[in-house]
Amino acid sequence: MKKKDIEYFRNLLNDRLEELLSHGDDTVSGMTVPKENFPDPTDRASLETDRNFMLRIRDREHKLIKKVKKALQRIENGSFGICDSCGEPIAIKRLKARPVTTQCIECKTKEEWPGKRILRPSQLPIMTPLRGCAKF
Ligand SMILES: [Zn+2]
């Protein structure tokens, strides 16, 4: 990978990390705002759902922060943009869309769909009734 590209991704990842970390603070302070004594059980239920939702978001953010940090480490040790599975360079286009990725699209697809060929509904053969087959 070119030095220019490395710089691009380093900046991108640093920005992403900063954004995630500052956002994380917001979520935490939002959660500590006391919202107790809801007389309506429906409100209580939705409050619980909100809280679970927040926790799930936080969990996802936490995982993403880890991934971004790892990607930055890979930039430092020179393994950024190399597929973990096959050792081939990952397409820049893919990295721009998902800079934390550690696998090229081929390996990722194989991992998610081992031995499977994915058929979208639009690719499925259309079942048309057979004309002239009165028997059926
Ligand atoms: Zn690969």
Between 101 and 129, where is the model more confident?
101
Output the CA 124–ligand 1 centroid distance in Å. Answer: 28
Between 105 and 43, where is the model more confident?
105
Residue 109: its pLDDT value, please? 92
Determine whether 134 is exposed, middle or buried from the number of CB atoms within 10 Å of its CB (0-12, 13-18, 19+): exposed
Name the percent of the chain lying above pLDDT 90.
Answer: 54
Output the CA 104–ligand 1 centroid distance in Å. Answer: 4
Task: Kindly state whether residue 18 falls inside one of the protein's structural domains.
Answer: yes
Low-confidence winner among 39-48, 65-74, 78-87, 94-103 (lowest mean pLDDT) = 39-48
* Mean pLDDT of the residues in the chain: 82
The last residue of a domain, from among 58, 79, 100: 79
Rounded Cα distance between 103 and 25, Å, is 30
Cβ distance 60 to 1 under 8 Å?
A: no
Q: Based on the domain organization, do 66 and 87 belong to the same domain?
A: no
Cβ distance 57 to 27 under 8 Å?
A: yes
Q: Based on the domain organization, do 7 and 45 belong to the same domain?
A: yes
Output the CA 102–ligand 1 centroid distance in Å. Answer: 9
Residue 44: its pLDDT value, please? 75
Q: What is the pTM of this model?
A: 0.66
Residue 43: its pLDDT value, please? 77
Cβ distance 83 to 107 under 8 Å?
A: yes
Rounded Cα distance between 39 and 36, Å, is 9
- How confident is the model over 114-133, as a mean pLDDT? 60
Task: Kindly state whether residue 42 falls inside one of the protein's structural domains.
Answer: yes
**How many domains is the chain partitioned into structurally?**
2
Output the CA 3–ligand 1 centroid distance in Å. Answer: 22
Residue 12: its pLDDT value, please? 96
Give residue 107's domain range: 81-112
Q: Based on the domain organization, do 66 and 38 belong to the same domain?
A: yes
Q: Based on the domain organization, do 22 and 73 belong to the same domain?
A: yes
Task: Report in angstroms the alpha-carbon separations of 101 from 18, 38, 135.
Answer: 18, 43, 56
Phi-psi sector, 124: left (phi>0), alpha (psi -120 to 50), beta:
beta
